[in-house]
Amino acid sequence: MTITNQYLKQMNIYYATIGIENYRIFSNYTEFEFRPITILTGPNNSGKSSLIKFLLLIKDNLDYFQSVRNKGNKIEKRISFMGNTHKLNNFDSIVANNKKPLIFKIHLLKDIYYRYVLNNNGRVEHTINLCDKDDNEILTLAGNELKINLQLFIEFFASNPTISSLDTFEDTIAYSEYVFENYRKIENYAKNSQNNIVNFDLTKIPDSNPSLKKLKRQSNEFLGVKILETAFEYFLDFDIDTISEFNVILHFDDSYLRFFTNIFYLPSIKGLQKRVYQYSDEDSLNRIIRAINEKGFWNKTAEKFLNKWINEFGLGKKVSFGHDQRLGVNYVFIDDKSLIDLGFGFTQILSILLQSCEILVGLRYTGFNTVLILEEPETNLHPKFQSKLAELVVDLYDKYKISFLIETHSEYLIRKLQYLTAKKEIKPDESIIYYFHHPSHIPQGEKQVKELHIREDGMMDGDFGPGFFDESTQLTLDLLKLQKN
């Protein structure tokens, strides 16, 4: 079963929650929940760009991670650090401690996650984990190897809504005991059983079950999840699809990786001002113009969106494109004026608008979890335009469900997002803000990355670090002191 947007909404999932450990500035495990609008802010060199580079690293190696997911931990291929977007060099350059592996998790639900361990040889180990509310592992699936904590497993079943909805408490206990007794069958095939922990090879389950026998013949594939389903039916005589957590484990195919598949990225310097752009130019703006000119990458939705927003930003009335195949150049005009004859800020805004258009045209092909990463979109923009960026972002999410990960230092963008929340143009749970502290300047009692939310009234549920919202106020007070003296 492919997990669709509707299915995600039913399960209160916007996008995967991702955790990283021993990655660059994040020596300790740090977790990020990505919502439709996710803001990264804080002082320079505090880890914001590092998080973005990590997402781009996964995107560049998506085929590899899909192979690990589908075929287990025995593939010989290595992860590549040669991507042009993230510009990470090698394993030693991305870890806080090169004697330890890099660990990251992708959560499917709060208690279920895929866990990847990246070793210094470039190999990645992969497990699927189910944990209790205290993060104790109930079940771990690594390839065809399954480890289960029987005591936690029984407790989990007893507290699961599907089971706890039985008529009486006695029925619940009776069913849990039934599960426990049946589960003892597994011990006959287990490698060992100690302290309620059972380890066994799923391929050693007897062939009396016809569907399992058929699966085992496909031994060249990663069968863990498929065999797990059959094993539960064989030992426990029930359909584990009825338990939502197991339903996710069994059916959550590579859709969870689409968060990375459909990532688009614009760096802080998005395009250069030129009269013409050579086909060979590598900046983001030229790449988008080339796609529009050479591939006819355009439709009425994109045209309507672009005309609206060039007017909103005061850029002009019409954008036109062209190219000369003989000379190998592209060009773009706003109201018949070349970008080099306009302000540099106009070029940066146009880059964001055209990247949005490219996504809008491609939505019919992707249609799932499209994420646009904007790195310092406020660069070279007047405060009024920085504020209007928030309107653009909310409009794109509201109408087209494009999500955003924005690294910014702009007070105006964040304040406008608060205002739009108070106006109910975006819901409080559709945005999240992460304030990054530098590891050497973490305030006492706080985490390296502070999670903040905008309430219904537009106010924050916590304070930013010093030097952000309070900087202009402090400068005004300092000026008044000088005048008084």
Of 138-142, 270-274, 391-395, give the lowest mean pLDDT range.
138-142
Q: Are 313 and 349 in contact (CB under 8 A)?
A: yes
Confidence of residue 310 (pLDDT cuts 50, 70, 90): very high
- Which residues lie closer than 8 Å to 88 by C-beta, 6 or more apart? 53, 57, 81, 94
Whether the model pTM is above 0.85 = no
Q: What are the residues facing 33 on neighbouring strands?
A: 17
Confidence of residue 123 (pLDDT cuts 50, 70, 90): confident
The CA distance from 106 to 116, in Å, is: 8
First to last CA, the chain: 72
Q: Average the pLDDT over 33-42 and give the result.
A: 94
Predicted pLDDT at 10? 39
The CA distance from 446 to 449, in Å, is: 8
- Tens-digit pLDDT profile for residues 326-382: 888 888 889 988 888 888 888 899 999 999 988 888 765 555 568 999 999 999 999
Best-predicted range by mean pLDDT (70-74, 194-198, 407-411)? 407-411
Nearest CA to 122 out of 87, 95, 86 is that of 95
Q: What are the residues facing 149 on neighbouring strands?
A: 197
In terms of phi and psi (left: phi > 0; alpha: psi -120 to 50; beta: otherwise), the region of 195 is: left
Q: Are 359 and 402 in contact (CB under 8 A)?
A: yes
Secondary structure of residue 260 in the 3-state scheme: helix
Predicted pLDDT at 427? 95
The CA distance from 37 to 78, in Å, is: 33
The b-or-e profile of 306-338 (16+ CB within 10 A means b, else e) is beebbeebebbeebeeebeeeeebbbbbbeeee
Confidence of residue 99 (pLDDT cuts 50, 70, 90): confident
Tell me which DSSP letter residue 215 carries: H
Sign of the alpha-carbon torsion through 376, 379, 383, 388: negative
Angstrom CA distances, 175 to 130, 149, 164, 179, 242, stand at: 21, 18, 10, 6, 15
As a whole-number percent, the residues of the chain with pLDDT over 70 amount to: 66
As a whole-number percent, the residues of the chain with pLDDT over 90 amount to: 27
Predicted pLDDT at 134? 76
The b-or-e profile of 239-268 (16+ CB within 10 A means b, else e) is ebeebebbbbbbebeebbbbbbbbbbbbbe
- Which residues lie closer than 8 Å to 38 by C-beta, 6 or more apart? 32, 403, 404, 405, 406, 431, 432, 433, 434
Confidence of residue 268 (pLDDT cuts 50, 70, 90): confident
Q: Are 386 and 280 in contact (CB under 8 A)?
A: no
Q: Average the pLDDT over 31-50 and give the result.
A: 92
